[in-house]
Chain A
């Protein structure tokens, strides 16, 4: 039971409390580059999710065999293997999306979020915990990509996953599908998350002092 609790905790940590984008502010390059629509964000998020999960499992299994001195190169090779799998799979199954994402699929190799999880978590924890962590962080990244892509697509072209939402008279916010829109949306979301965090801290503090009085 205790073990289960811990795994659940690791998952929620990645999805929300230490969200790779909104809290750790990692992996911004693909985030800003491909989130001009929700579907692109979803594809990128799933690709990163798969790579992260696969690499976490392998690294966690082989952690005792990987020499400390060359661990980063080993992680990179493992990650690159999964990226190649994703790259070819997407090219074969969804060529349109593969073309839209372009160079950013191969660039998942250099995503600091994935390498960071290998170094900080998978190479030091059991398989079970690593899988939970990869699920959490992958879901967190996916959540960030899709929500950013959705906001930008809704405001930028008035659609969500390609379905028109507002009818013919919609006035597109051109800036939202351009790079500045990505920065502005991300900035506003970071602001929101920081505000939530501050609010939560305030409540925690209040509860703590009330407990103290009692």
Chain B
């Protein structure tokens, strides 16, 4: 029946890592994910895990150590945020192209500059095309659950891709909330032992990892990565099904909240989805058919499934907590609208860039977005598809 607890998002992530008990954790502290390696190093010191904790001197080295460990045949994890992820950049691509199923807890924070320690999704969006699986988490519970499912997805032999579990910096990482934990033994059994097929410390099979890959090969290897990302979709759902049997908690590519009969809907990720649920409830009391689609799996991107889920709506607003600074729209908006176009779904859709650098987002503001959608539904017209929410001087 699970264990009733109250934990912050960072405590939840560290608890999941404790229960997973990986072979190696290599990390360098950065706000707001600092507490994760901090708590974890305490577990190591107290002997509650038998992980080799590598206190590196930078995030570049943290990812390098994870790559070395994973290539050697170990299960490796790390945690970071924002500029820490930026400093990993070079190794992020190497991890995914070497097909090493490293798992990262990414506590989302604005990438500098100017310097800002608060939440937005610019860190995750910066690596969206790097070949990592990206799962987003509304709550501490989802950050925990996603981490428990992570290795089963990443290590599947049809996948073999690194995976990051995202949650909102401070908003969930530093908020104490109720959570239901799974018993240690059940987690251990669910996650299972890591049995890599090919690894450097296998003396029966001497191999090289990451040699020169010239014109004649790189293209094919990239296509294999793309194929693995495609294959991850099926595996993500299979693992979610097993997870539901274990916990009763159901996960898919996305969560539909009162979407079935909705006429207008918001699409967003992470903690804002919870605030949007409260907004939907308030609007439903007013007789407005509002709904929500919360994206959980951003990479691989379930374009077709999302288009299908949105096809009967009269107007949609996609909320991006990172600006792509491209004079066209945020990353989630572009993915959703291109998915709709390719799948012949024609629903008026607008983009709101919001919550940059930790700007708070309230029920009242989201209510305003739904009211904008009602106008679009009535008029069928969109004058400006690329908008801001909560920007001073704009609204």
A and B co-occur in one complex: no
B-to-A contact residues, CB < 8 Å? none
A-to-B contact residues, CB < 8 Å? none
